[in-house]
A and B are shown apart, each in its own frame.
Chain A
Amino acid sequence: MTALDRAIDSRDLRGRMIFMLAAIVFASVVALGFTVVAAFDRAVEPELTKRTRLIGGFIRSEIQRALDLGIPIDAVPGLDQYISKTIEKFEEVESIVVTTLAGNEIASAKRPVTRSLFEMTGLGEVIEFKRNAFSLPILEGNSLVGNVEIETSPVFVQTRLRKVFLDVLVLGLVAVLIALELSVAIAVASFGKPLDCINRLLSEQCSGDYVHRIRVAGVGKIRQLAIRLNDHAEDLATRWASISVESRARVNARIANVRPLLLRLSDLNDIRLALFLFSTATEISSAFLPIFASTATRPEWLESEIAAALPLVVYLVALTIITPFGGSTARWIGPRRLFLVSILPTVVALSAMAMSSNVLGITIWRGVIAVFYATATIACQEYAIKAQEDRSPRRSVGAFVAVVYGGVFCGSALGGLLAGRFGFGTALLFGAGLAAVSGMVGMNSMRGSAGDRAARAQAEVPVHADRGSGPGGRLVTLLVGIAMPMNAATAIVIWYLVPLSLSAAGSDPAEIGRVVMLYYLAIVAFGPAIARLADGRIGETALVMVGAFGSAGAMLSLYMWSGLWMVVVLASLLGLGHTFIRAPLYSLIAEFGGGRGRGIDVLRFLERVGPVVGLIAIASFLGEIDENAVAIGIRAVGVVTLFGALAFTIVEVRHRIRDI
């Protein structure tokens, strides 16, 4: 176990860090939230008083006009209707009651009492918000005949702040993930990696090998020690140069002829922050892309539903085309260079997309983003696998998937929030800035030898020893029955139907972002725990079955829900079901395929073919996106997932029986 592992890389530590960060961020947000509500309540009180008095004054003058005409107070026609209309216009008014002098109610309009967030959480007992009540007298001649009583709602400010609270809640979740990635990056840069380099150099120097030096990094004494050990190697190189070639043979050590070479160690953590930021940047539009495309200008012959799906389809097609070449390109030009080369076109494409106002522009630039998203992520995956060559690939791929989904989660949440507040263009430009930052981070962190191009001999050796053999039945069922429906469900349900249906129901991009985010939140939150389950006794195939049947069940049980909550529950359950599948999928493919490469290549291809075909079919056949069409679309994907899960189960059961 390296110093890095001991220092920062344990799952328990990550879990504790997330818990601690969440506690700090949410405690801060809740504390400031109280202050905001109390301050707002105090600040708007004078204006609410003015409004209530004005409303009361108008109602009273209307009643008095009737009284002046000789109509008795308890016989004013249409009074109930009038005050009901008035209460509809003013959401802060909770009740308007007209009473006689004796206190008998003549007319009244009341809103249903809503419990505030503070009351629901029990905090209403601690903090009480003001309830304004006014009573205005009604005169007939010189005598008092009744009163108009108006009461304002104490939860008015809280209802107006609901959106801010939800936005801040999302920001809090994003902040927790960013803080975690930053903490890991700091621990790696300040301690873990410098100490690993020192340990490696020390071992070499103990055995008389002085051909390497290390990058001076880290803090305090570790930095000083690096300087000292480098000096040993450099000093010996100088002394070595001063003695004759014949004398050198008598020295029992390997010493550099010129300046010692820089020792470049690679680690999985080198790609973490860069990949996280890059995923966040490129997926900034995932919550609003179909809405952005459907509202953009388009040719008359292009229907709105097809226009909404077009950028997604092109995105998936571009991924499908590029993915098979990604791995070999990364090995050919080197993962580091491939990642860095992908940054500039991504920044340009995101900026150009921000300025596009027609479907064609949005589609083309989304395609460009897809191409470079594929190359950059594959570069990072190749780096991770190469950096962990001596260990189980499951660990590197598991960490890679966790970072990508963490980034996608942040992208969808931040994108929705920014688009809701400032428009689609601003959100995309923010993404472009973030992509540029990820490039700078990657340039600095991916310096290890895993970022270099593969040596010629290595590049020419086929990576997949079993390429000649055909895929087995288990592998085909896993890929076609499980992986393909899973990715189709993500693209069709989460990327296409959810944003469009919510938009049609009146949700703004921020709300859509919050719902889409739930899908990824399940993966981020439960991914590590399910990965542990996969390592345990339950077994990977059982987990895949649970995930596949669970997600099929979630999609097919739509009749139990309706409206926004249906979509919220569906996104969460689908995310959870897919987490059960994603965690063990890679190692099952490796196991069924009999090697590292072939299964992954096929998976990468099938991952995208399913969604492309599904999206085109759904966008073409469903027509106008309403609640009914969404239900049909989701159920269709649910049926496909169910059949896939059944096929996988049958094949696995037969395999077990044969083994027995």
Chain B
Amino acid sequence: MTLFWRIWQAIILVDLSVLALFVWLALLQFAGIKADLVGERLLVLAEQTAAPFKAAGRIGLPLANVRNANALLERARQTDDTIQAIHVFDETGRILHSTDSAHPESISPGALKARRVSAGESWYRETSEGFLSSIDIPVLGRKAPSGIVIVYPATGSNIQVRAMGAELSLAAVAVLFVSSVLSTLLLGLVLRQQVRHFDDTEHTISDFERSSWRTAAGESVKTVANGYEPATFGQLLQAAEERYLSVCKSIENVGEKP
């Protein structure tokens, strides 16, 4: 059965690798789906919230002068309690209006870089600051557009990904257990003949070993008849042993005679 278990281990190892890769790919996809769902929703919210600011920008009114700006932003923030802050900023990144009373002077360097890369398109991405989602607000007479950014905590999403990882890993372990049982049964059927051949060989060797030490202890020797070609593996072992003993004896004899 040693051969059987060795092959079984290899198959389970391969199965485990496939399941582990599946869990890993699924987690990557889950993180992607989560990010897309949140990002797209925040973009819709940003678009809707930016409408009055865009109207002001179209006629060249500085965004800092938009009336009730903080109230407009606060109404948008209340659509989802998880939203950390919504900032409206000018072309340099300086924050003009925010739902956060203790907001920083300007948007983070990460957000500025993401704006540069997006080249005017709406964007969302995860940064060290959290999950950011932003669109541009063009202002008449200004070379570069201003913008609005929604800051969303990334912690919740990370916890969800880790929880998903734990759930899928547990499921993978359960699947692996069931498939181990299944492979034991199927492998037993497929390798039946080979395992029997292996076991027969092992039994023959065991029988030979037993007969060998019993002979050494004085039991009568069962010899392979002279002139008889050993046909089975057991007979071959016996014949080889007899030949070895006879050669040993022969060397002993010629060694004794000067």
- For the complex, give the distance between the alpha carbons of A47 and B244 in Å: 81
- For the complex, give the distance between the alpha carbons of A13 and B183 in Å: 16
Q: If A35-B168, A202-B240, A242-B255 touch, does A191 touch B10 (CB 8 Å cutoff)?
A: no
Q: If A32-B172, A51-B37 touch, does A251 touch B10 (CB 8 Å cutoff)?
A: no
Contact A178 B33 (CB under 8 A): no
Scan A143-164; emit 1 where CB is below 8 A from any B CB, else 0.
0000000000000010011011
Contact of A43 among B3, B41, B164, B205 (CB under 8 A): B164
Contact A172 B18 (CB under 8 A): yes
Contact B3 A187 (CB under 8 A): yes
List the B side residues contacting A187 at CB < 8 Å. 3, 7, 194
- For the complex, give the distance between the alpha carbons of A270 and B6 in Å: 18
B19 CB–A CB distance under 8 Å: yes
List the A side residues contacting B239 at CB < 8 Å. 206
Contact B194 A7 (CB under 8 A): yes
Contact of B175 among A17, A32, A160, A253 (CB under 8 A): A32
Question: What residue of chain A has the Cβ atom nearest to residue B233's Cβ?
Answer: A199
Contact of A27 among B164, B172, B182, B252 (CB under 8 A): B182
A58 CB–B CB distance under 8 Å: yes
Task: List residues of B (181-202) whose CB comes within 8 Å of A's CBs.
Answer: 182-183, 186-187, 189-190, 194, 197-198, 201-202
B127 CB–A CB distance under 8 Å: no
Contact A208 B243 (CB under 8 A): yes
Contact A32 B22 (CB under 8 A): yes
B214 CB–A CB distance under 8 Å: no
- For the complex, give the distance between the alpha carbons of A292 and B205 in Å: 58
Contact B45 A54 (CB under 8 A): yes
List the B side residues contacting A28 at CB < 8 Å. 15, 18-19, 175-176, 179
Task: List residues of B (1-41) whose CB comes within 8 Å of A's CBs.
Answer: 2-3, 6-7, 10-11, 14-15, 17-19, 21-23, 25-26, 28-30, 33-34, 37-38, 40-41
Is chain B's binding surface mostly helix, strand, loop or mixed?
Answer: helix
A456 CB–B CB distance under 8 Å: no
The contact size tier of chain B is: 35 or more
Q: Which of A224-232, A320-328, A446-454, A623-631 contacts B (4 or more CB under 8 A)?
A: A224-232
Contact of B187 among A20, A51, A167, A205 (CB under 8 A): A20
B248 CB–A CB distance under 8 Å: yes
- For the complex, give the distance between the alpha carbons of A7 and B195 in Å: 8
Task: List residues of A (75-118) whose CB comes within 8 Å of B's CBs.
Answer: 89-90, 92
Contact B18 A168 (CB under 8 A): yes
List the A side residues contacting B225 at CB < 8 Å. none
Q: If A50-B80, A210-B247 touch, does A222 touch B202 (CB 8 Å cutoff)?
A: yes
Q: If A32-B171, A39-B164, A54-B79 touch, does A25 touch B15 (CB 8 Å cutoff)?
A: yes
A16 CB–B CB distance under 8 Å: yes
Contact B167 A51 (CB under 8 A): no
A269 to chain B, nearest CB (A): 14
List the B side residues contacting A190 at CB < 8 Å. 2-3, 6
A133 CB–B CB distance under 8 Å: no
Contact A251 B240 (CB under 8 A): no
Scan A167-192; emit 1 where CB is below 8 A from any B CB, else 0.
11001100100110011001100110
- For the complex, give the distance between the alpha carbons of A47 and B209 in Å: 71
The contact size tier of chain A is: 35 or more
- For the complex, give the distance between the alpha carbons of A195 and B230 in Å: 17
B65 CB–A CB distance under 8 Å: no
Is chain A's binding surface mostly helix, strand, loop or mixed?
Answer: helix
A646 CB–B CB distance under 8 Å: no
List the B side residues contacting A399 at CB < 8 Å. none
Contact of A206 among B19, B26, B243 (CB under 8 A): B243
Question: What residue of chain B has the Cβ atom nearest to residue A242's Cβ?
Answer: B255
A177 to chain B, nearest CB (A): 10
Contact B25 A164 (CB under 8 A): yes
- For the complex, give the distance between the alpha carbons of A178 and B21 in Å: 15
- For the complex, give the distance between the alpha carbons of A167 and B179 in Å: 20
Scan B35-60; emit 1 where CB is below 8 A from any A CB, else 0.
00110110011001000000000000
List the A side residues contacting B160 at CB < 8 Å. 43
A8 CB–B CB distance under 8 Å: yes
Contact of A54 among B29, B44, B171, B179 (CB under 8 A): B44
- For the complex, give the distance between the alpha carbons of A27 and B243 in Å: 54
B207 to chain A, nearest CB (A): 10
Scan A519-543; emit 1 where CB is below 8 A from any B CB, else 0.
0000000000000000000000000
Contact B240 A205 (CB under 8 A): yes
Contact A175 B7 (CB under 8 A): no
List the B side residues contacting A39 at CB < 8 Å. 164, 167-168, 171
B251 CB–A CB distance under 8 Å: yes
A254 to chain B, nearest CB (A): 10
Number of A-B residue pairs, CB cutoff 8 Å, is 213
Contact A8 B194 (CB under 8 A): yes
A239 CB–B CB distance under 8 Å: yes
A6 CB–B CB distance under 8 Å: yes
Task: List residues of A (401-453) whose CB comes within 8 Å of B's CBs.
Answer: 421
B257 CB–A CB distance under 8 Å: yes
B206 CB–A CB distance under 8 Å: yes
Contact B190 A236 (CB under 8 A): no
B154 CB–A CB distance under 8 Å: no
Contact B34 A47 (CB under 8 A): yes
Instruction: From A28, A43, A51, A205, name the one whose CB has the most chain B CB atoms within 10 angstroms.
Output: A28
B234 to chain A, nearest CB (A): 11
Question: What residue of chain B has the Cβ atom nearest to residue A37's Cβ?
Answer: B26
- For the complex, give the distance between the alpha carbons of A92 and B219 in Å: 84
- For the complex, give the distance between the alpha carbons of A21 and B201 in Å: 27
B178 CB–A CB distance under 8 Å: yes
Contact B21 A182 (CB under 8 A): no
List the B side residues contacting A172 at CB < 8 Å. 18
A654 CB–B CB distance under 8 Å: no
A586 CB–B CB distance under 8 Å: no
B254 CB–A CB distance under 8 Å: yes
- For the complex, give the distance between the alpha carbons of A300 and B110 in Å: 36
Question: What residue of chain A has the Cβ atom nearest to residue B12's Cβ?
Answer: A24
List the A side residues contacting B17 at CB < 8 Å. 175
Contact B18 A175 (CB under 8 A): yes
Question: What residue of chain A has the Cβ atom nearest to residue B163's Cβ?
Answer: A43
Sample (30) of A-B pairs whose CB atoms are under 8 Å apart: A7-B198, A20-B183, A20-B189, A20-B190, A24-B15, A27-B179, A28-B15, A32-B171, A32-B172, A32-B175, A35-B171, A36-B168, A40-B30, A43-B34, A43-B160, A44-B33, A47-B41, A54-B45, A58-B48, A164-B29, A168-B25, A182-B10, A190-B3, A199-B233, A206-B243, A224-B205, A224-B209, A239-B255, A247-B257, A252-B247
Residues of B within 8 A of A (CB): 2-3, 6-7, 10-11, 14-15, 17-19, 21-23, 25-26, 28-30, 33-34, 37-38, 40-41, 44-45, 48, 79-80, 160, 163-164, 167-168, 171-172, 175-176, 178-179, 182-183, 186-187, 189-190, 194, 197-198, 201-202, 205-206, 209, 230, 233, 236-237, 239-240, 243-244, 247-248, 250-252, 254-255, 257
Residues of A within 8 A of B (CB): 6-8, 13, 16-17, 20-21, 23-25, 27-29, 31-33, 35-36, 39-40, 43-44, 47-48, 50-51, 54-55, 57-58, 89-90, 92, 157, 160-161, 163-164, 167-168, 171-172, 175, 178-179, 182-183, 186-187, 190-191, 195, 199, 202-203, 205-208, 210, 219-222, 224-225, 229, 232, 235-236, 239-240, 242-243, 247-248, 250-253, 255, 421
